[in-house]
Every structure is written in structure tokens, then in C-alpha cells.
Amino acid sequence: MKKLIAIFDSTLRDGAQGEGISFSVADKLKIVETLDELGVAYIEAGNPGSNPKDLEFFERVKNMSLKNARLAAFGSTRRRDTTVEEDNNIQSLLKADTPVVVIFGKSWDFHVTDIIKTTLEENLAMIKETLRFFKEKGKEVIFDAEHFFDGYKANPEYAMATLSAAVEGGADCIVLCETNGGAFPDEVYEITKKVVENFNLPVGIHPHNDGGMAVANAIMAVKAGASHVQGTFIGIGERCGNVNLSTVIANLQLKKNYQCIPDDKMVALTQTARRIAEIANVSLTDGMPYVGKSAFAHKGGMHIDGVSKASHSFEHIDPELVGNERRFLMSEVAGRSTILAKIQKFNAGIDKDSPETKNIIDKLKKLEHIGYQFEGAESTFELIIRKELGKYKPFFELEHFKIIGEHPAGEESFSSSALIKVKVDGQTEITAAEGDGPVNALDKALRKALEVFYPELRDVHLTDYKVRVLDTKQATAAKVRVLIESTDGEDIWTTVGVSSDIIEASWIALVDSIEYKLIKDIEKKFKAYL
């Protein structure tokens, strides 16, 4: 029997405190829907008393019917020397009308006396009275003991007294917050174990990642008896971020026999991480464990050979368990077997001696000679294989395009526009677009024209654009390599183009990006039909 771990996601509050993160109300609602679909136990929705945006969100989220998660509002204990009934923030929490309320309070004596400037006794009363108020209103109440580990190391008796006050107030769960993010896993284990032994109710952990040990601290807290983990799904948050729940969930459920989310939802872990990153408008780190683009990418020939023979020789889990995929990177150290493995995805009957294999290798050598590099641009490589095997049909024809760049007198910046004409199945479409530079204008114009025929392209946009000058001795006439990373909110793919004209190189990569997306959509529909 698996032990249940309650996963508590605070992306909407802790995540929103990360640098460069700003969620709209619509963004927050999409994240709630995404997390609920995955099956997390709790979604912390923010502080209803902090700003008008959160007030609007709490009104609109009431109309959502959640299938798995319980929604929580977050706020502090009552202010010093004020009754619970007179505290406006407490009343805002009540008006939010969520089934769960999370109350944070001070557990470090230094914070009590020097930060909020009250007495140790008053702080205990603030905790107990606030929790009791919400319990009497029929709420599930979670107490977040802020700075608990620093507080315990400074004054263990008082830190434990704050937890006792929460229990007396009726807390359903007490959460130990590693707020400064500097504790070590052995400390977290020992202190959590003492708390678990002293209190007969669920204990949680809320680690930050300032020391790079948030995941390890969460795992050690669970090992010590914690049954509730708070964090953000992809680790975003203030300073160095919060614990990455996608990593914690995979580690605990796949390797330690805990139940964090429904078993049938584990395959959605990668897709969920990418969707939340998309909504947050951040790039998911390629090397992020389990869900990153490079989490199961192999480059060295020995590694690739080993994985091909026995995947567990160089992979700690099967990537399909978390909805990710194995990737063999094209590079100078990858070897012939890597190319053959990719070819066999489209025709299993081809072997290393087949003429198709030789033709594709010769094609790759020619392209690499003029500056192409396929490491990290497997989508373009896949299109090359399709073309050589006769499994490719273009989705559109370019009639012509024109780029216009100008710097009007008196203006502070350049402006660019693109005019494009394309043909699809005999029908032509002419359109224009403005952009932040010629490549952006061309990208917008191309997709605008093609969306008439392929509406699914509305979901696609560029997430990264890299230019590498290949032969610097040629100065401004140098050949360049352009890498474009694209996403539709679920999948991420990268394409490459090379030319002595940066616009042409960008165009080649853009076309490959769009055609790759359209091919994959057709394949998904075909699989769904079968």
C-alpha cells in the first residue's frame, strides 16, 4: 500500500513572486485547470487581500468545478494587538470562500521581536486565535510555520511552541517552511523527525532552493515522516525559486513508492510542466530533471550504443513514464548507429548497408560541410530523413516575400514589415505584418498567411532565436547558422537554417518549424483515429 503525499502547489503565489513572472487572471485560471487535471491535492491561489487582480480571480474561480484539487487562500495571522474580527486581511480571506485557508505565522523568535515587533506571547496568541477563527467557520486550515528551521536552530522551545499554538487553534496540518533556503538535508531530516514525533497530525515541508537543495530537503522531510509537500510545479519563485514539484513527484512516486498524483497522470508530467512554463512565459530549462528537453538526450557514441542495447544502462527511468522522450543528438561523437536509429523510426526495414542509409549520410555530410549542425535541431534532421525516404510533401509554396526596414526621422527605433504571398493547394494568400525586426515581421506574416489554411498554427510561437557567424573572416558577408526553437504550448522543437543571408537562413528554419508542427499534428490525429 502506497503512502499518500499531499502535493500542494503554490505557483499562483510563490511562483508569481519570481523575477519576470506576471500572471493575468486568465493565466491563473488556466494554471488551476492544468494542475487540477494532473491531480494535485491542493492549489494555493494567492492572497485575496493583496491586490485587485487576486480579488477578481477569487470571484471567477468560484465558477470552476475542480475534479481533484482543493483551492486554498493564503494569508497571515491577525496583526498584533488587533482582534481577528477587526483585521481586514482576515476578512478578505473569509470572503474568498475557499474550502482551505493557509495561515502563515512567525516561528523564529528573532522575527517576532525584531521584524513584526511584538512579544513572543502575543505571537502565539495571534497564531492560535487566527486558526481557531477559521476552524469555527468550517474551513480546512493549514499552518505555515515561516522560517521554522532557522527558528528551531535559534530557539527550539519557542519554534515548537508556535506549532503547539497552531494545533491548539485547530490546525489540520502544520507545515515547516525552510524560508531562507539555506538548510542542509540532514538538518531538515532531524528537525522534521522531531516534529513528527511530537505532533499527532500531518506535517508538511515548504523548501526554497537558495542552497540548491530544495528537492533533497523535500525528500528527506518525507523520509522523516512528512506527508505534505509545498512547492511550485517547475520551481519558479522568489530569489532562487521554490522546490520543483515535478521533480519531487517523479522521485517519490516512481522511486520511493509514494502516491503523489494518480498513477495514470504520471505520463502527463512533462506536458504539464511545459504548459505551465508556456503560461508563465518562461523557457523550461533543458536540463530540468524528468521533464526537460535534455533530460533523456544522449550525445556520446558509447552512451547511445549502451541505451540502444539496454536503456537502463544510461537512463535512470523510462522517459515515457513521465511523458518525455529519448533523444539521440546528432554530433561529431554520435556515430553511424545514431543516424540509423532515427532512419528506422520511419522505415524499420532499413539497415546500415541500405542505399537509403548511405544517401542520408552523404546528404548530412554535405550539409555539415556548408555549416549545418544538427545537435539540438533534430526536427530539421527528421525532415531531411523524410525527404530522402519519400515521406514528405510540402504544405505550401512560397510565391515571394519582401522585407522592408526603416528608421523614420525623429523615431527612436527601427521598424520592420514583411509582405508575403504563399500558395496552398492552388489557392494563394497575400498578407503583411509588422514586427520587432525583419525576422519577427517575416515570422508573423508567414503564420498569418498560413493560418487561413492551418488554424492550428495560431498556437505556435518562437521561444528562442540564435544566430552563429560561421566564417568570421568574411566579415559582413559571413555565412550564418540560425537556430529557432518553437512551441505550441505542449511540444517544443528546434530547427536550423544556414546561409550567407541572415534572412534566408531564418526563412529556412521558419519553414522547417512550421512544416514539422503540421506533420506532427497529422500523425497525432492518425494515431487518435487508430
CATH code where residue 79 lies: 3.20.20.70
Residues 212 and 109 in one domain: yes
- State the total domains in the chain: 2
Q: What average pLDDT does range 63-71 have in this prediction? A: 93
Answer whether residue 292 is part of any domain: no
Q: Which of 388, 416, 450 is at the close of a domain?
A: 388
Q: Are residues 302 and 272 in the same domain?
A: no
The radius of gyration computed from the CA coordinates of the chain, to the nearest angstrom, equals 27
Final residue of a domain: which of 359, 388, 417?
388
Same domain? For 271 and 305 the reply is no
Mean pLDDT of 341-366: 82
pLDDT 10s digits, 211-245: 999 999 999 999 999 999 999 999 999 999 999 99
For residue 504, being part of any structural domain is answered with no
> Which residue range(s) make up the domain with 69?
3-280
pLDDT at 473: 58
Assess whether 226 and 313 both reside in one domain: no
- Tell which wins on pLDDT, 116 or 381: 116
What are the tens digits of pLDDT across the range 485-513? Answer: 898 888 889 899 999 888 999 999 999 99
Mean pLDDT of the region 138-157: 97
Please report whether residue 170 resides in a domain: yes
Mean pLDDT of the chain: 89
Least-confidence region, from 1-5, 226-230, 264-268, 489-493 = 489-493
264 and 342 inside one domain: no
Grid coordinates representing 240 are: 532562487
Give tens-digit pLDDT for 88-115: 999 999 999 999 999 999 999 999 999 9
Residues in the chain: 530
Phi and psi (nearest 5°) for 145?
-85, 95
Closest to 417 (Cα-Cα) out of 429, 434, 431: 434
pLDDT band at 433 (very low <50, low <70, confident <90, very high): very high
Task: Decide if pLDDT at 333 tops 50.
Answer: no
Residue 36 lies in a domain: yes
Same domain, 307 and 252: no
pLDDT top residue among 56 and 252: 252
pLDDT of residue 332: 45
Helices (H), 97-238: 109-110, 120-136, 148-154, 156-169, 185-198, 214-223
User: How much of the chain, in percent, has pLDDT values that exceed 70?
Assistant: 92
Residue 188 sits in the same domain as residue 303: no
Residue 469 or residue 237, greater confidence: 237
> Which of these, 233, 323, 316, 321, lies nearest to 270 by C-alpha position?
323
Alpha carbons 319 and 321: distance in angstroms, whole number:
5
**Is 398 domain-assigned?**
no
Same domain, 272 and 129: yes
3-class DSSP assignment, residue 116 = coil
Residue 358 included in any domain: yes
Buried b (16+ CB within 10 A) or exposed e, 28-65: bbbbbbbbbbbbbbbbbbbbbbeeeebbebbeebeeee
Highest mean pLDDT among 60-69, 134-143, 318-327, 473-482: 134-143
Domain assignment of residue 178, yes or no: yes
Q: Cα–Cα distance between 41 and 213 in angstroms, integer?
A: 24
Looking at 338, 371, 388, which one is the last position of a domain? 388
Read off the pLDDT of each residue in 72-98 and give the average, rounded to a whole number: 92
For residues 206 and 228, what is the distance between their CA atoms, to the nearest angstrom?
9
- The answer, yes or no, to whether residue 330 has pLDDT greater than 70, is no
**Is 232 found in the same domain as 329?**
no
pLDDT at position 351: 82
The reply to whether 262 and 326 lie within a common domain is no
User: Is the same domain home to 64 and 104?
Assistant: yes
The pLDDT assigned to 527 comes to: 65
Residue spans of alpha helices (H) in 269-377: 269-280, 301-309, 336-344, 355-369
- In a domain? residue 261: yes
Instruction: Give, in degrees to the nearest 5, the angle at Cα 97 between 91 and 100.
Output: 100
Instruction: Give the pLDDT band (50/70/90) at residue 313.
Output: confident
Per-residue confidence (pLDDT) for residue 93, from 0 to 100: 92
Please indicate whether residue 306 or residue 529 has the higher confidence score (pLDDT): 306
Phi then psi for residue 420, to 5 deg, are -140, 145
Q: Which of 13-22, 410-419, 517-526 is the most confident on average? A: 13-22
Same domain, 8 and 98: yes
Mean pLDDT, range 279-297, rounded to an integer = 88
Q: Report the percentage of the chain scoring pLDDT > 90.
A: 59
Residue 412 CA to residue 405 CA, distance in Å, equals 14
Residue 467 pLDDT class (50, 70, 90 cuts): confident
